[in-house]
A and B are shown apart, each in its own frame.
Chain A
Amino acid sequence: MNQSVNVKELNEHIRNESSFVDMINMEMNKVIVGQKHLVESLLVGLLSDGHILLEGVPGLAKTLAISTLSGIVDARFNRIQFTPDLLPADLLGTMIYSQQKEQFMVKKGPIFTNFVLADEINRSPAKVQSALLEAMQERQITIGEDTFKLDQPFLVLATQNPIEQEGTYPLPEAQVDRFMLKVVIDYPQQEEEKLIVRQNLAKEFPTASQVVKPDDIIRARGIVKEVYIDEKIEQYILDIVFATRYPENYGLDHLQGMINYGGSPRASINLAIASKAYAFIKRRGYVIPEDVRAVCHDVLRHRIGLSYEAEAENMTGEDIITEILNTIEVP
Chain B
Amino acid sequence: MYTRILKYLLYVLFALVFLPRAHGQPFRVDARLDTNQIQIGDQIHLQLNLTQPGDARVEIPSWQDRLGTQLEVIKTFPPDTMGDQGDQSITITRKLLITSFDTGKVEIPPVPFFYQGRQGVDSVLTPPMDLYVQTVQVDTTRDVFGIKGPFGAPLSWAEIWPWAAGLVALGLLVWALIYLLRRRKRKDMVLEPRKTSEPAHVYALRELDRLKEDRLWQNDQVKAYYTRLSEILRTYLWMRYGIKTLERTTDEIMTSLSDTELAQQEAYDMLLGNLRFADLVKFARMQPSTTENEGALQQAYDFVHATKYVGEQEPAAKEGGDEKGDAGEEQEPNEQDNNKQEPKEGPRGNLSR
Contact = CB atoms under 8 A, between A and B. Distances in A.
Q: Do A and B bind each other?
A: yes
A111 B338 CA distance: 68
B247 interface: yes
A331 B282 contact: yes
A117 interface: no
Contacts of A290: 249-252
Interface of B is mostly: loop
A21 B345 CA distance: 35
B287 interface: yes
A329 interface: yes
Given A288-B249, A329-B247, A232 B351 contact: no
A326 B285 contact: no
Contacts of A2: 287, 289
Contacts, number: 71
A212 B232 CA distance: 46
Contacts of A228: 283-285
Interface residues of B, number: 23
A330 interface: yes
Contacts of B350: 1, 3, 8
Contact of B285 (A4, A325, A330, A331): A4
B292 interface: yes
Interface residues of A, number: 28
A289 interface: yes
A293 B247 contact: no
Interface of A is mostly: loop
Given A1-B350, A2-B289, A11 B251 contact: no
Contacts of A4: 284-287
Contacts of A325: 247
A72 B287 CA distance: 40
Contacts of A293: 249
A284 B292 CA distance: 22
A232 B249 contact: no
Given A2-B287, A327-B247, 19 more contacts: A1-B287, A1-B289, A3-B351, A4-B284, A4-B287, A7-B284, A7-B286, A8-B350, A228-B283, A228-B285, A232-B282, A284-B353, A288-B353, A289-B283, A290-B251, A293-B249, A329-B246, A330-B246, A331-B282
26 contacts: A1-B289, A1-B350, A2-B289, A3-B287, A4-B284, A7-B284, A228-B285, A230-B282, A230-B284, A232-B282, A232-B283, A282-B353, A284-B353, A285-B284, A286-B284, A288-B250, A288-B279, A290-B250, A290-B252, A293-B249, A325-B247, A326-B247, A327-B247, A328-B247, A329-B247, A330-B249
